[in-house]
Amino acid sequence: MAKKGRVFSGARPTGKQHLGNYLGAIKNYVALQNDYECVYCIVDVHALTTVETTQDLKQNTIEMALDWLAAGIRPEDSILFVQSHVKEVMELHTYLSMVTQFGKLTDLPTFKEKVRQQPDNINYGLVGYPVLMTADIVLYKSDIVPVGIDQAPHIEFAREIVRSFNYRYNTKALVEPQVKHTEILKVVGIDGKDKMGKSLNNHIELAVTAEETVKRVREMVTDPARQRKTDPGNPDVCNVFTMHKIFSPQEEIDMINTECRKAGIGCVDCKLRFASNLNKNLEPFRAKRAELESKTDYVNDVLIDGAKRARTIAEKTMAEVREAMKMP
Ligand code: ADP
């Protein structure tokens, strides 16, 4: 079947993935493969804007790729590769930076947020992050970038850079990417309040054992107003119930919805049921991950092959870019 276009998405190598990554990104990556030619990139260079050591980059890249592959990214259909393996992106980034206004970069809300987060490390790369992101997208002539609503300004920004470049050099070499808004539900962590993430240690990793999953799920915060088992609870404000709605069979969801409200089921029971359903859902993923992990060099080979295929596209784009710019 003819594909509808080329999708590009990148994520920083954060190592083993958690439920937030899965529900917010990976699940969507897997689904997009059916209709689009997909290019998925582990953006290790971007990671350097926030981490000051490269010590864990390689291992984190492998762990993340393993999770993506085990979750259903098909390397025979999609290109899965590491950003720094295709050096052309650095060259394109430099050229694009010359058609980008500095003031616009420093005005972006994401930049202002980073300044708040790491006031002692406002590096030049951090300011240029959206330019490198644009280089990633356009180097692979991507038509579509699936993003949540908060990232949409970056894609609009990328479109502006493309227009400036194409106008300045009177070319059509670069393609303006389109946003594909994805319904990214914000997965809340086990603390029941913040977005699930590694930095807050409120996450549940996909690749942990069934026993560790149970342990982690038992720590989940439920309806804070429910103090005792005999108090009725409110599933509408309970993160465990939100998770049940994703991972449990409908009749169990209905049962909990009714029983919780009249204190017919306690939080511990409810959590154990969720843990059990989550483990059942993750079983095939975990088996596949173990299988891939046992194959020596498998992930490395996938990434090397991905880089080769990505490079073929990148070299062609750069040849057009240099020609338009009359650069050697
Ligand atoms: P990055 O900084 O590269 O976005 P993250 O690990 O923060 O790396 O996120 C990777 C992907 O997972 C992103 O698409 C992000 O939106 C998604 N994601 C991460 N945490 C959550 C969460 N708690 N809920 C929903 N999506 C999430």
Hey, which of 8, 12, 21, 51 would you mutate to test ligand 1's pocket, going by the most ligand atoms within 8 Å of its Cβ? 21
CA nearest neighbour of 252 among 270, 234, 237:
270
More confident residue, 65 or 229: 65
How much distance in Å is there from the Cα of 68 to the middle of ligand 1? 13
Instruction: Check whether 185 has a pLDDT greater than 90.
Output: no
**pLDDT given at position 247:** 97
Instruction: Check whether 98 has a pLDDT greater than 80.
Output: yes
Name the fold adopted by 208-290.
Tyrosyl-Transfer RNA Synthetase (1.10.240)
Q: Tell me the C-alpha distance between 291 and 125, whole Å.
A: 38
**Protein residue with its CA nearest to atom 21 in ligand 1:** 20
DSSP string, 167-195: HHTT---SPPPEEEE------B-TTSSSB
How much distance in Å is there from the Cα of 127 to the middle of ligand 1? 20
How much distance in Å is there from the Cα of 67 to the middle of ligand 1? 14
Domain 6-187+296-325, CATH among 3.40.50.620, 3.40.50.10310, 3.30.70.3000, 3.40.50.300:
3.40.50.620
- Nearest ligand 1 atom to the CA of 148 is 16
Q: Tell me the C-alpha distance between 135 and 89, whole Å.
A: 6
Q: Tell me the C-alpha distance between 215 and 83, whole Å.
A: 36
When pLDDT is cut at 50, 70 and 90, the band that residue 204 belongs to is very high
- Nearest ligand 1 atom to the CA of 196 is 23
Instruction: Check whether 183 has a pLDDT greater than 80.
Output: no
**Protein residue with its CA nearest to atom 16 in ligand 1:** 24
Q: Tell me the C-alpha distance between 17 and 64, whole Å.
A: 6
DSSP string, 79-145: EEEEGGG-THHHHHHHHHHTTS-HHHHHHSHHHHHHHHH-TT---HHHHHHHHHHHHHHHHTT-SEE
How much distance in Å is there from the Cα of 266 to the middle of ligand 1? 31
Mean pLDDT for all residues in the chain: 96
CA nearest neighbour of 151 among 6, 52, 313, 8:
8
In order of 25, 191, 197, 208, the CA distances from 202 in angstroms are 18, 6, 6, 14
3-state SS assignment for residue 248:
coil
- Nearest ligand 1 atom to the CA of 187 is 24
Instruction: Check whether 51 has a pLDDT greater than 90.
Output: no
Which residues have CB under 8 Å from 159's CB, separation 6+? 176, 177
**pLDDT given at position 282:** 98
The pLDDT tens digits of the residues spanning 78-96 come to 999 999 999 999 999 999 9
Range scoring the smallest mean pLDDT among 4-13, 82-91, 224-233: 224-233
Q: Where does ligand 1 bind, in terms of residues with CB under 6 Å?
A: 11-12, 14, 20-21, 23-25, 148, 184, 186-187, 195-197
Instruction: Check whether 233 has a pLDDT greater than 90.
Output: yes
H helices present in 169-266, as ranges: 210-218, 239-247, 250-261
How much distance in Å is there from the Cα of 260 to the middle of ligand 1? 31
**pLDDT given at position 176:** 97
**Protein residue with its CA nearest to atom 18 in ligand 1:** 21
Instruction: Check whether 150 has a pLDDT greater than 90.
Output: no
How much distance in Å is there from the Cα of 23 to the middle of ligand 1? 9
How much distance in Å is there from the Cα of 94 to the middle of ligand 1? 27
Q: Tell me the C-alpha distance between 137 and 130, whole Å.
A: 10
- Percentage of residues in the chain having pLDDT higher than 90: 91
Q: Let me know: does 28 contact 37? Beta carbons within 8 Å.
A: no
Which residues have CB under 8 Å from 229's CB, separation 6+? 263, 266, 267
Q: Exposed, middle or buried, 249 (CB in 10 Å: 0-12/13-18/19+)?
A: exposed
Q: Tell me the C-alpha distance between 46 and 12, whole Å.
A: 7
- Nearest ligand 1 atom to the CA of 203 is 23
- Nearest ligand 1 atom to the CA of 188 is 23
How much distance in Å is there from the Cα of 250 to the middle of ligand 1? 27
Instruction: Check whether 100 has a pLDDT greater than 80.
Output: yes
3-state SS assignment for residue 42:
strand
Q: Phi/psi at 72 (nearest 5 deg)?
A: 125, 10
The domain segmentation of the chain, as residue ranges, is 6-187+296-325, 208-290
The pLDDT tens digits of the residues spanning 103-149 come to 999 999 889 999 999 999 999 999 999 999 999 999 999 999 998 77
How much distance in Å is there from the Cα of 149 to the middle of ligand 1? 13
